[in-house]
Every structure is written in C-alpha cells, then in structure tokens.
Structure 1
Amino acid sequence: MMNLFLSGGGDKEQSEMIDKEFVETLDLTKPMLYIPIAMQGEVPYEGCYKWIHNVFNPLGINEIEMWTDLEAKSLEDLSTFSSIYIGGGNTFNLLNDLRETGFDKILKEYVDNNGIVYGGSAGAIVLGRDILTSSHMDPNHTDLMTFEGLNCFGGYSIWCHYENSSDDSIKEYVNKYGYSVIALPEETGVFLHDGIVRVAGSSPATIFREGDIKVINPDEIVK
C-alpha cells in the first residue's frame, strides 16, 4: 500500500489544501524528515529549514529533521519518522544525488513498505516514471545519462508548475517517449493510496496519454 502525496509546487498559500490533507495522515508524535537537497547551490539550507517550518508548524508539525547528506543512510534510519518530505529545486541534481548515495533504493523500499512520502515539484517529479518532464525548466549539470525516476506513481511521469501553454510540449513528450503524464498546476496535488489516485487542491490536474487529454477536478479519481 503506497501513501504518496505529490504537489505541483508553488508557495505556502497555494499548497495549503494539499499540505493539510498530508498532515491529517501522520503520526504527529514522530518528527517529519525533510530532504531539501534539490536546492543545493540555489538556496542556503538554513533558508530551506526556515521555509519548511513556516509551512508546517501552523498545521501541527513542530518537529522536523533535515537531512542534507544521504550517504550511509538506511531503511532503519527512516523508522523514527512519520513521513518524508522531498522538496523542490533542480530535478536532475536530486535524482543524481539519490542514485549516487543509493538512497533511491532505500526510498523505494520505504514507499513499498507503506512509508508516507510527500514530493513537491522536483520531489514529485523524481517519484514519477521519467524526469525529462522537468527539462524545460531545469538544466542538467550532472552526469546523468538515464532519466528514469523511481516510478512509484502507476507509470505516470509528473509535470509540475503546469500551465495551458505547456500543452504542446507535453504532447510532444508523450509522443516521443510513450509515457503518460499527470500535469499539476502549482495549486494542485495528487494522492496515491491503496492504488487509487485522487486529485486535491483548488484546480484540476490534466492527464495526457497518447491521443487523449483528460481534465480531472479536485476530489475526483484518476482512472
């Protein structure tokens, strides 16, 4: 049973509805783990830590631990946390760090063992089928040659910060690679629980498949 929360990005106000639903699933006696490494070189980690507290302290999460180095971490290390929040930034850097440290395998095992994971923007994209949905906004400064994500979301790739102007680019991606896409505006998220994907937030998600586009409103199920 997977418990995944993905958001399209945006600021504290845009993600508030999604954040609240996430918090409702947690054991608040345990700390939340925050992984901001996609922001390396863009925003100081001190600023990331302040931001995550500003978002979740008002919602009842008062204890947050931040990891900026994933070397030598284990599945057992994750057992003390209520959940993992993987933040935004550069998606290529994030996937590269996950692979180089081996944390991608640990994270996948955590998800497969009912761990609760929230991915925002880059953190959402790496949980999808393929991360080239971020290539229009993120430069690839890494040595990555393959772009497979953790593929935790039913075979879908995730497109964040979605606007209607991206439709042609998404159609081109779908036709080129053959992967279906869930496109998320900044005020929209999707939850995966018991194999069911539900849209949340204040705006619809859009599903792109070969030859088909479908708009899914908040609280509706992705079929």
Structure 2
Amino acid sequence: MSVPNILLLSSSRVHGYGFLEYSKDLILDFLAKSKVRTILFVPYAQKDHDKYTATVQTAVKPWGLNVEGLHTKTDLASAIRGAEAIFIGGGNTFVLLNKLYEENLVDVIRNQVLKKGTPYIGSSAGTNVATRSIHTTNDMPICYPPTFDGLKLVPFNINPHYIESEHKEHMGETRDERIKEYLLYSKYSVLGLREGSSVLVHGNKAFLNGKAKLFTDRFEALELHDNTDLTFLLNENK
C-alpha cells in the first residue's frame, strides 16, 4: 500500500499574485516527488467546466505541467484510477460535493489517494471536500448533497480563507464565533487556514505551510505558525 500525498491549499488566488502563482514552488515540489507531468483536474465546483479547466492549464503550462479535465472523460472512475495526480479546484463546495456523489466518485477518489498514493491537490472547495465534512465551508448551500460527509482524506475539518473580523462596528457573528458554534455540536477540530497557507500530508505526517488557527472543544483557539507539525490532527478520532 502506498502512502497518502495530499496538499490542501486555502485558495488558488492570493492578492498580488496570478492564479496559483503564490503556490508554484510548493506545487512543483509536491508533484516532482511522484514524477507527475499531467494533472487530472476536477472542475465541478464551478459552472463552466471548460473555462475553469483552461484557466488551470494556462497557469501551469509554463511550469511544464499538462492538465486534463475530468469532465471530458467518458469513464470518470477509470480516469481517476489512471490519473498521475488529482486536483480539485475551488468554487461552491455544495455543488462540488453533490456532483462527486452524483457521479459515484467519492469512494473512488478516496481509495486512490489513501490506498494507491495518487497525489491529491485541493484548493478552497477542493480542500473542504477533502476533509471529514463540509460543515465548515463559507459557501452558500445552493444545492443539497445527499450528505455533508467529505472525502475524509484527513480526519479533521478545515475552514479555508479564514480571516478574523477587523470591523469594530460589525455586530454580526465573526468567523471565530461561527466555528465555535460548530464545535458545540461536533467533536472534530477545525483548522482555520489563512490565505496563502496550506497543509501538506505525507504518509502519517502533516505540516502547516503559512499560518492557521486551530479550533477545538478541548482548549482555547490556538495560533499556529509556519512549519507547525500537524501530525496530531491525523490521529484524532481514530
């Protein structure tokens, strides 16, 4: 059995950079370890699959990488099983997860990543669906998946695009309050992943690139910094 190789990005865009540009070195190093040249891109989080796939291809082609859209394949499960690497991009998390279940791809992707070692890259919604559930997404529930259970590539939840409210006049719930509310009903930790940050999983080890805030029902929210060892999160709830 091969070891899992997972890269979970908070987003594909960061202020001051082009699409995926901020994560270029990280992505290239991640894929080079498995000698990946062609990425199978899953564009289901956005409505125009062709346009979204072309955006990714334009971004990574100068890096020496090729992109194939899963939506262009006749046999989706076979395409997943034959992929050198899988990349699921951002958009609406509910639409994405609903489509993955509709096409019966959840178990196929999970098996390839966790048992076969196919490298997985997620960004934003693609990161949300890689976790235990999509309960901590920021997206609007514009459709209703059969379940909120994700791919469960990692046993905790992530809140991509995490940011704390800086507006003193704002009287509505802050992101922190929303996440803490979730923890009243769940025992699963939530990693608030700030923009430009990511989680790298290799085998039974996990590390933070950038900055994040960890929320759990066991102690007060904890600020985490670059290169923090997150391996303990992989061992939660086993």
- The bucket for the TM-score relative to the shorter chain is 0.7 to 0.9
Moved over 6 A (4+): none
CA positional deviation for 1:148? 1.1
Q: Secondary structure at the match of 1:115?
A: coil
2:231 aligned with 1:215: no
Runs of 5+ unmatched residues, structure 1: none
CA distance in 1, matches of 2:12, 2:141: 22
CA positional deviation for 1:25? 2.6
Q: Secondary structure at the match of 1:37?
A: coil
Structure 1 residue aligned with 2:52: 48
Q: Specify which structure has the bigger relative contact order, considering alpha-carbon pairs within 8 angstroms and separated by 6 or more residues.
A: 1
Structure 1 residue aligned with 2:119: 116
CA distance in 2, matches of 1:73, 1:50: 19
Which has the greater radius of gyration?
A: 2
Match of 2:88 among 83, 86, 89: 86
Are 2:160 and 2:195, in contact at CA under 8 Å, matched by a contact in 1?
Answer: yes
CA distance in 2, matches of 1:70, 1:170: 38
TM-score of the pair, normalised by structure 1? 0.86
TM-score of the pair, normalised by structure 2? 0.81
Structure 2 residue aligned with 1:60: 64
Are 2:136 and 2:157, in contact at CA under 8 Å, matched by a contact in 1?
Answer: yes
Q: CA 1:71–1:163 in structure 2 vs 1: closer, same or farther (change >3 Å)?
A: farther
The amino acid of 1:129's aligned partner reads R
Q: Secondary structure at the match of 1:131?
A: coil
The amino acid of 1:174's aligned partner reads L
The number of residue pairs the alignment matches comes to 212
Are 1:5 and 1:190, in contact at CA under 8 Å, matched by a contact in 2?
Answer: yes
The amino acid of 1:143's aligned partner reads Y
The amino acid of 1:56's aligned partner reads V
Are 2:41 and 2:67, in contact at CA under 8 Å, matched by a contact in 1?
Answer: yes
Structure 1 residue aligned with 2:17: none
